[in-house]
Amino acid sequence: MLKKYSGLNVLAIILFSIFSVSFVAKTSNNYFEITKNLDIFATMFKELDMFYVDEVDPEKLIRTGIDAMLNSLDPYTTFYSEEDMEGYRMQTTGKYGGIGALIRRTDDYVIISEPYEGFPAFKAGLMAGDKILEIDGVPAKGKSTDDVSKMLKGKPGTDVELKIERFGDKTPMTKTLTRDEVKIKNVPYYGVLENGKTGFIRLSNFTEDCSKEVSDALKELKSEHNIQSVVLDLRGNPGGLLNEAISVANIFVDKGQEIVSTKGRKQEWSNSYKSKSAPVDTEIPLAVLIDRGSASASEIVAGVIQDMDRGVIIGQRSFGKGLVQTTKVVGYNSKVKMTTAKYYLPSGRCIQAIDYSGGYNDNLEKIPDSLRTSFKTTNGRTVYDAGGVDPDIDIDIEMYANITQSLMNKQLIFGYVNQYRLKHSTIPTPDKFELAQADYDDFVKFISKEDYDYTTSSEQLLKDLEESAKEEQYLAVIEDDLENLTSKIKHDKQKDLYKFQEEIEQLLEYEIVSRYYYQTGRIQESLEDTKEVAAAMEVFADTDKYKKLLKAN
């Protein structure tokens, strides 16, 4: 946290720091512009500090100015005050001091949504659905997830007392947990797919040692299960450390290969990074799964595999983040993470999808396909820049029905599984578990009195048509027809619950399995329903198709 000083002292520190850097680095013209505007800023702050109708908080005011300044550049340039450093540590190392649990907000309270296996929340017997009433005697009602998260985190070895209410039991219980260093696994699951020959590795983040986790998983799958092909799942992986992305790619490509290069305004920010270690396997057929949530380091790995024709990419076009951030210390235990370079894949392409050079706002558009430039892979295949990594096998995004989305948004699936967990002490392993029809009927009964209404796409189109007809004065002509169509397509929640039972039941099974087998079980349960995994096994089964995908047309 920024230390409390008078407003002018805070400004003096900031201005002196910027002044010193500017004096060395800027031309005389830029130097004048900087000093002029800093002088204006200092004078304005002094006037606010002295004459504003209410007393101003220097820390809050300066932080607002810092955030606004950085927000005008790009969404990845961020200031971390001393109190933010725990979150920064979590992003880079995957570690934090706390109880080890995911939380979510439901109505006026924050509840446990999933304890991490082996950590304090799990050891204390906390369960998904437990409502947090108090933390160290402080009422938790009305607090945000961020507020509660900060209260739960702390130095390992310190205690935190929670008063909770468990679903189905209105009598509060008190539990004392001893905080520990929580390390989130980068590889929450790896195993063998149902064909018995294909290994599967789920990589969820690129924090410290993630490459070792992937390497160890692949080595075990090869030695213990003699796998003949492997799927690396990067879906929803937002990225992380550049050096870990290079090391993960190195697992599958030869030592000495250029993995990625960076180019920045300063010469020292322009570098070439090569694979430094002996690979684990450069021959085993490989499929990398990506989607719109695969970004940054994920795109480096997927892009390298594609540019070197080392494996096939399956899924949807990735996010498109081709920027590199560097962290600088700015004093008082604070840091700024700023964008300093763009990265380029072995083919020479940069996959950055949005141009932030003119400043950042929420309305910036992605670079259109017509302006993307083509590049060539090692085998001569055509790939494109400026829009993320395009998959070699494109899988359509599955969209849930409106009723399913409503049930998720209202947390009714989560709520029902709280009840299910109390009634069932055990369930079969994820690969064998299936929800019985009687249980699905019980779910339908459970939500019968809940509010989860929704508007179907057809109903929305008719509403839009009615509005247009009103504006253009045609409503009287088509009003009877509109009423007739509306009555025919009006949704019936009861019928829709069974019409879309398959996808609703699938989500119920994921949530139920996670209560008994946690994140590992959820991933394992979802594999049999994943089109990307099915596509990978299909292409592995057809050697000619696999090889053809990696050759130039």
pLDDT, average across residues 153-171: 94
In angstroms, rounded to a whole number, what is the distance separating the alpha carbons of residues 530 and 517?
Answer: 19
Domain 189-397 sits in CATH 3.40.50.740 = no
The active-site residue, picked from 296, 406, 514, 526, is 296
pLDDT, average across residues 354-368: 89
In angstroms, rounded to a whole number, what is the distance separating the alpha carbons of residues 358 and 74?
Answer: 10
What pLDDT, on a 0 to 100 scale, did the predictor assign at position 136?
97
CB of 248 within 8 A of CB of 205?
no
pLDDT, average across residues 443-461: 85
Report the phi/psi class of residue 471: left, alpha or beta, with left for phi > 0 and alpha for psi in -120 to 50. Answer: alpha
CB of 392 within 8 A of CB of 306?
yes
Q: State the chain's mean pLDDT as an integer.
A: 91
Percent of the chain at pLDDT exceeding 90:
75
CATH of domain 95-183: 2.30.42.10
> Per DSSP, which regions of 297-356 are E strands?
312-315, 323-331, 334-344
What pLDDT, on a 0 to 100 scale, did the predictor assign at position 24?
46
- pLDDT band of residue 468 (cuts 50, 70, 90) is confident
Give Dmax over CA atoms of the chain in angstroms. Answer: 78
The active-site residue, picked from 163, 185, 321, 337, is 321
What pLDDT, on a 0 to 100 scale, did the predictor assign at position 483?
81
357 labelled catalytic: no
What pLDDT, on a 0 to 100 scale, did the predictor assign at position 8?
46
In angstroms, rounded to a whole number, what is the distance separating the alpha carbons of residues 532 and 538?
Answer: 10
User: Who has greater pLDDT, 477 or 406?
Assistant: 406
Q: Is the pLDDT of residue 19 over 70?
A: no
Residue 529: partners with Cβ closer than 8 Å, 6 or more residues away: 506
- pLDDT band of residue 477 (cuts 50, 70, 90) is confident
What pLDDT, on a 0 to 100 scale, did the predictor assign at position 88?
84
What SS3 state is found at 174? strand
- Residue by residue, DSSP assigns 425-492 as S----TTT----HHHHHHHHHHTTTS------HHHHHHHHHHHHHHHTT-HHHHHHHHHHHHHHH---
pLDDT digits (tens, 9 = 90+) for 75-110: 999 999 988 887 888 888 888 999 999 999 999 999
307 labelled catalytic: yes
pLDDT digits (tens, 9 = 90+) for 25-84: 455 567 888 889 889 988 998 899 899 999 999 888 989 999 999 999 999 999 999 888
From the CB of residue 499, how many other CB atoms can be counted at a distance below 10 Å? 13
Look at the block and give the residue holding tokens 């997927």.
302
What pLDDT, on a 0 to 100 scale, did the predictor assign at position 528?
80
What pLDDT, on a 0 to 100 scale, did the predictor assign at position 28?
57
What pLDDT, on a 0 to 100 scale, did the predictor assign at position 86?
79
Domain coordinates of the chain in residue numbers? 7-71, 95-183, 189-397, 402-454+493-535, 457-489
Note the pTM of the prediction, 2 decimals. Answer: 0.88
Q: Print the SS3 string covering 43-64.
A: HHHHHHHHHCCCCCCHHHHHHH
The active-site residue, picked from 233, 307, 309, 496, is 307
Element containing residue 200 per DSSP (H, E): strand 198-202
From the CB of residue 308, how many other CB atoms can be counted at a distance below 10 Å? 23
The one-letter amino acid at 381: R
Strands 286-290 and 229-233: parallel
Per DSSP, what are the bridge partners of residue 323? Answer: 342
What pLDDT, on a 0 to 100 scale, did the predictor assign at position 29?
66
321 labelled catalytic: yes
